[in-house]
Chains A and B, each alone.
Chain A
Amino acid sequence: MNGYHTSLMSLLFGVLAVLITASIVAFLLAQKKGHDDPLVENLTARINAWWVMAGVLGLAFWVGRSGVVILFAACSFAALREFVTLTNVRRADTWMLAALFYVALPLQYWAVWTDWYGFVSIFIPVYVFLGMPILSAIRGETDNFLIRVAEVQWPR
């Protein structure tokens, strides 16, 4: 075992210890205050969510580099989906969004996976940001064009 493995192991076992403690505390609280107490219910739900998060992260670490890259790509996908929902993008932006989700995102994480730093660092801020307004403009919808483009580009 090298140093990287021992520190990872101590991290994982530390997290495991914290989670087990939390679950025991929640269990004792539920015994004392009743299972349908809203506070206990909320706490239990949160602790269970931590278990899932720690489990997923642990699994990704265990799989190795690909696992971590895939996990982060999935998180990016979910975050982008959440974000796009809140913006003004409309029908004319469909191609732009499809390109973002299905081309730019996988390409970026593929480059991360192959450790191509020169590409990773400029792909989105230069090429994607250049291509997005073009794809939106091609459809010919001019209403609120700058707002639509700016909204999707600004939050980096």
Chain B
Amino acid sequence: MQILAWITASAIIGFSRFITAVKGFWPGGVPHRGQAIYFANHTSNGDFILLWTVLGALRRKTRPVAAADYWLSTPLKRFIGQNVFNAVLIDRDPETRTHDPIEQMLEALDEGSSLIIFPEGTRNASDEVLLPFKAGLFHLSEKRPDVPLIPAWIENLNRVLPKGEVIPVPFICTVKFGASTQLEKGEEKPGFLTRAEKMVLALRPEGAST
């Protein structure tokens, strides 16, 4: 099972490089080391794969936070979600869920894993550049203030596979990381979320098409 997961992971990464030639850009050219919570814009199901590809060796200790209703729906998705990506699968429906999503994410952090979260909560198919952030990021950093928060902007992936299309079209994609931040003392939820949104938007290339 382990070997199968490794082969699948390599195939997914190889395919994403073939289609997007993805490259990561870090502030000062030096990738972050150690634990972190990466938060990024979300326009496509492939967002996480691109982030994962550019993280390189860090990827083994990095877990994406993803929707359980999507990743548990078929055996193949279940295998990819749980064995390959080792995702923290959360139930988005407050009515039916048995685990608190924030608790699940905190558990993963306490194991020493880094997290990838998309605070918009859903794929952005609107004309807006970025949807308003959900509060999860705030609650996480309130409970684990020592873990650095790193913003990222994923560019062009919405052109590769727009929502509703089936065939991915090759485009060069980039993932740009920003400087890490932390929840400041006494910072309130709305202020913090606005600041986080601005940090992600600031990484967007000038003259970007969407």
Contact = CB atoms under 8 A, between A and B. Distances in A.
Determine if chain A interacts with chain B.
yes
A78 B19 CA distance: 9
Residues of B in contact with A, size category: 10 to 19
Contact of B169 (A77, A78, A94): A94
A97 interface: yes
Chain B interface SS verdict (over half): loop
Contacts, number: 34
B156 interface: yes
B167 interface: yes
A88 B209 contact: yes
Contact of A91 (B162, B167, B172): B162
B172 to A, nearest CB: 4
26 contacts: A78-B21, A80-B170, A81-B21, A81-B170, A81-B171, A81-B172, A82-B21, A82-B172, A84-B171, A85-B156, A85-B171, A85-B172, A88-B209, A89-B159, A90-B159, A90-B209, A91-B162, A94-B167, A95-B167, A97-B169, A97-B170, A98-B167, A98-B169, A101-B169, A101-B170, A102-B167
Interface of B: 21, 156, 159, 162, 165, 167, 169-172, 209
Interface of A: 77-78, 80-82, 84-85, 88-91, 94-95, 97-98, 101-102
